[in-house]
Structure 1
Amino acid sequence: MDPRCQKRTRPEKRPRENEIKHTTTCNGNKKSIKQDEWNQLSHDDNNRETQPNVHSSSTLGKQLPVLTGCRSVDNYERLNFIEEGTYGRVFRGRDIQTNKIYALKEIKLNNEVEGFPLTALREVSILVSLRHPNVVHVREVVVGSNLNKIYMVMEYAQHDMKKVLDNMKHPFSQAEVKSLLQQLLSGVAYLHDNWVLHRDLKTSNLLLDDQGILKICDFGLARLYSDPLKPYTQPVVTLWYRAPELLLGAKTYTPAIDIWSVGCIFAEWLRRKTLFEGRTEIEQLTKMWEILGTPNEEIWPGLYQLPNANKIKFIQQPYNRLSQRFDNNIYGSQTSVTKLGLDLMNKLLTYDPEKRIQAQDALNHPYFEEIPKPVDPSLMQTFPETNKSPY
């Protein structure tokens, strides 16, 4: 049997019940927390109705050690609004002392009665503990005049990848796509090695700085996972980037859901448009079958045991037509893909999550060794800054 098709093994570093983990307080100091406290942050999403928020802004300081000793947001000058997401607004700000530019994400609190939302607590707690060049870095957490206003101060990147794709005049070259994909896989491998699922990878959640460095951002849906796996919330992941096991109602899922999203992003960088554009979950699955072929029990054991599999009439498409979605003319509206690139994309978009390639294995794929090799990030083409106010 091809070793790449064998059931994969999980990382050896498995969390233990009494294991001590480390996180970082808002002023950058390390602090130890016990596993049961850490588990509070990775509590089964399905129970959020019974513990929806950390209550009352008047007691947030006691209940959230990460906020202890935080500086005031007044240390930053707010320059312009960048965007508003599901879990908070983002501003461009300047450190008054150093003049350095940062992104300030205001954590959305619905109201004082409901208190600090669990999604925001997870995002803060996960991000302050991560350190990787391709994961957005949180410098500190700052507060307003009272704890009703809480901000994450993050490194600033000049470009939103979705806006870059929408506005670029020429497609990325093969070497540039390889560089971006290599960086994305490196960041995802780091997250998975540290037992973090992002659960919403898409081009609009990727940033690019003026040095060509890609940053994974927006961890509002991220969560810690453990072995053995537990049932997690559905739906997660934006529809166009959502893995087939999620669409078919899998109650437990693995880091393979992030890998599927990476495959979709890889195709989008080459085509400058999304690969699967369904308006509903059924249509999304149909788009997959049309391009990748219709799955069956032979290539995906356990397919028909998924909750929604028997509710859908599968349109039979026996052939994989993925290669037809790419142009051989590199100067056209799309960038071509080599046979090795297509092989890697198919491994990222493998139906069976147990056979889907892992991030670290993908980094070792021969696609990155063929000519042209990944361009150095500093040599990436440049773009007008998309996150700066036009006024």
Structure 2
Amino acid sequence: MTRTGPLRRGQEVAPGYPVIEHVRRGEAYDTYDAWSRRRYSRCFVKAVRPNLAAEREVGDALVAEGELLLSCTHPYIVRAYEVAEAANGTPVLVMETLGGATLESLLDDGERRLTTRELGYLGQQLCSAIRYLHDRGYLHLDLKPGNIIAEFGRARVIDLGVARPPGPSRGGTGTPRCMAPEQVRGGTVGPPADVWGIGLVLYESATGCQPFADAPEDHPQLTRTAPPVRSARRLPKALAETIDGCLRPRPEDRPTLPHLHDVLAEATGEEQPP
């Protein structure tokens, strides 16, 4: 009988990686808190769901994500240890265990809002990670509070599952209400799509609400613009205008990442490195 459910405690995801706890089941992957017998430590493991083992593109996508993460060495991007192989031959992505919670859970359904200074630090760290990724020839394309771990004052970007080089793209790859309009429509996608993602994260972190979450349609960002952030929260004018600018419908109208970083640096009130 073919197993379709997630692994239980003690079963191995891959040789040397017994399960401590199943964390989450997504559309294509299971994630686990596991023990690394080689490292004598916990690790976070992403594995192909058993019922999708024969779907080669699912495994190929996980290998691509793993190879990209293995090539990255950045303090604000989750670290990968290796791409291992499960008993059924499917790939298994082994990553470090992060000690914090997702930004999504910290915002607590609008009950928590970041201070201006916290917004500055968060945004700077996201800009740093994404500029590094862009310099390596990739876009993240799925920035949202659920894909950011807050760990001891640092933001850690996770889930590079839809990351890809800039250029022509088919529409609809990403999280429906988080995608930049050009991601939804398809066509040429470039760095402004990630500027949109950072802007959306900062908007929600500042106001406690996602500007497109309550719309009845699947892709409200195609037919409406986000309300000005100052309609929901008092912020310094330059910071508010820049966050609003990140969410402009036309990619060429959004600020660049260096400009966004500079505005966020002013919000922290600290002197920046040369």
Aligned ranges 1:1-391 → 2 under 5 Å: 73-108=14-49, 110-117=51-58, 118-148=60-90, 150-157=91-98, 158-166=100-108, 170-209=112-151, 211-225=152-166, 229=167, 231-247=168-184, 249-277=185-213, 278-281=215-218, 283-288=220-225, 291=227, 321-326=228-233, 336-365=234-263, 367-370=264-267, 372-373=269-270
For residues 74 and 282 of structure 1, the distance between their equivalents in structure 2, rounded to whole angstroms, comes to: 42
* Unpaired runs of at least 5, structure 2: 1-12
Q: Distance in 1 between matches of 2:64 and 2:102?
A: 23
Structure 1 residue 324 displacement after superposition:
0.9
Query: Hey, what's the Cα distance between the residues in 1 that align with 2:165 and 2:48?
Result: 20
In 1, the alpha carbon distance for the partners of 2:57 and 2:139 equals 22
- The runs of 5 or more residues in structure 1 that have no matched partner are 1-71, 292-320, 327-335, 375-391
Give the letter for the 1:352 counterpart.
Answer: R
Q: CA 1:111 to 1:241, structure 2 compared with 1: closer, same or farther past 3 Å?
A: closer
- The alignment yields a C-alpha RMSD, in angstroms, of 2.7
The separation in 2 between residues aligned to 1:163 and 1:133, in whole angstroms, is: 21
Given the superposition, is the C-alpha separation of residues 167 and 93 from structure 1 closer, same or farther in structure 2, using an over 3 Å criterion? farther
**Corresponding residue for residue 6 of structure 2:** none
2:266 is aligned with what amino acid?
Answer: E
Point out the structure with max Rg over C-alpha.
1
Length-normalised TM-score, structure 1:
0.59
TM-score by length of 2: 0.82
Give 3-state SS (helix, strand or coil) of 1:124's partner: helix
Tell whether the 8 Å contact from 1:109 to 1:116 is kept in structure 2 after alignment.
no
Over 3 Å counting, the alpha-carbon distance change for 1:108 and 1:258 in structure 2 is farther
**Superimposed CA distance per residue, residues 237-259 of structure 1 (whole angstroms, 9 cap, x where no aligned partner):** 32222223344x35222121111
Supply the AA of the counterpart residue of 1:198.
Answer: H
Q: Structure 2 CA distance, aligned partners of 1:127 and 1:222?
A: 10
Do 2:84 and 2:94's aligned partners in 1 also have CA atoms closer than 8 Å? yes
**Local SS of the residue matching 2:125:** helix
Q: Give the 3-state SS of the residue equivalent to 2:71 in structure 1.
A: coil
Preserved contact between residue 107 and residue 152 of structure 1 (Cα < 8 Å)? no
Match of 2:10 in 1: none
Amino acid at match of 2:259: D
Q: Deviation string for 1:289-332 (max 9, x for gaps)?
A: x72xxxxxxxxxxxxxxxxxxxxxxxxxxxxx442122xxxxxx
Taking a change above 3 Å as real, the CA distance of residues 282 and 127 of structure 1, as seen in their structure-2 partners, is: closer
Deviations 1:122-179 (A, max 9, x none): 222322222211111111122233414x321111123122122126864322222211
Task: Please tell me the residue identity of whatever aligns with 2:72.
Answer: L
